[in-house]
Amino acid sequence: MGKRKRLSVTSGLRIVKDYDRLSHLTANLVAAIIRDTPTAVVGLPTGRTPLGFYKRLGALRRRGLDTSRLTAVCLDEYLGVSPDDPISLFGWLRRVALEPLGIPAARTLRLPSDAADPQAACGRFNRLLDRHGGFDLVVLGLGWNGHVAFNEPGSPRSASTRIVALQPGTMERNLAYWRGRRSLPGYGMTVGLRSILRARRILLLVSGARKAQILAATMCGPITSAIPASQLRLGRLTVIADQAAAKLLARNS
């Protein structure tokens, strides 16, 4: 396969011009789901990719979209970190999305990564998620190595909420999100692919040329735990990619 060859892909794929359009389209799709199911259980991602989507969804809320009855789930967290720790991903999501969207604290499910016995807490969290009926919608970003949430390479599709070792490359990149920080915990807690794959809808957001190779592998290569995101093709997946990220894909649908 030549490096520049475009790979064909048939599953749910929406290619849009740029990041702005990606954010708009995602917000519109999510708003339609919320109008249809105002009490939806929604998994929300951290990272840079969803920032425009959160902003746009906030704008739709100001124009009347009711987000107050959703249940929101933060999909990943550093191990041993409380929500008020400056590096807490839940704390970040609260500032960037949950508060602007008016989702009350009582309607958020937080990964209990600071529990005294985190292993047992993972089991309790799985049962809690199941009691909520699982996800109506999971929105995800695509990690540099194909991870989704903190499901790093090697994560099987049967994996449930658990503690994972973070890859050095993930920690290096994530460090750039926290100005002034010199290190991050080497472990995280993540919602597993099992719960994500059962979602009624999965949206995978991918932006920028630096994601082109991993998106091509995700969509066109084998379905393998070596690239956890490739396993999303077994679920009700729609990929929303901008042209820069999709430059190695050719749609044949």
Active site residues: 76, 145, 147, 152
Q: Is 47 in the site for ligand PGA (CB under 6 A)?
A: yes
Nearest residue relative to ligand PGA (C-beta): 47
Q: Which is nearer to ligand PGA, 86 or 123 (CB)?
A: 86
Q: How far is the CB of 72 from ligand PGA (least distance, A)?
A: 17
Q: Is 228 in the site for ligand PGA (CB under 6 A)?
A: no
Q: Which is nearer to ligand PGA, 65 or 93 (CB)?
A: 93
> Count H helices, E strands: the chain?
7, 12
Q: How far is the CB of 88 from ligand PGA (least distance, A)?
A: 16
153, with CB counted inside 10 A (0-12, 13-18, 19+), is: middle
Q: How far is the CB of 33 from ligand PGA (least distance, A)?
A: 21
Show Cβ contacts of residue 9 under 8 Å, excluding neighbours closer than 6 positions: 219, 220, 249, 250, 251, 252, 253
Q: Which is nearer to ligand PGA, 123 or 169 (CB)?
A: 169
**From 46-54, 154-162, 217-225, 244-252, span contacting ligand PGA (CB under 6 A):** 46-54
Question: d(Cα 20, Cα 207) in Å, to the nearest integer?
Answer: 10
Q: How far is the CB of 212 from ligand PGA (least distance, A)?
A: 13
Q: Is 141 in the site for ligand PGA (CB under 6 A)?
A: yes
SS3 245: coil
Q: How far is the CB of 68 from ligand PGA (least distance, A)?
A: 26
Q: Is 49 in the site for ligand PGA (CB under 6 A)?
A: yes
Count interface residues toward ligand PGA (CB under 6 A). Answer: 5
E strands present in the chain: 7-9, 13-16, 41-44, 71-74, 76-78, 108-109, 137-141, 162-165, 187-190, 202-206, 237-242, 249-251
Q: Which is nearer to ligand PGA, 33 or 139 (CB)?
A: 139
Q: Is 167 in the site for ligand PGA (CB under 6 A)?
A: no
Question: d(Cα 100, Cα 203) in Å, to the nearest integer?
Answer: 21
Residue 91's CB is within 10 A of a number of other CB atoms, namely 19
Residues 5, 17, 48, 95: which binds ligand PGA (CB under 6 A)?
48
Q: Which amino acid is at 244?
A: A
Question: d(Cα 4, Cα 75) in Å, to the nearest integer?
Answer: 34
List residues near ligand PGA by CB under 6 A. Answer: 47-49, 141, 143
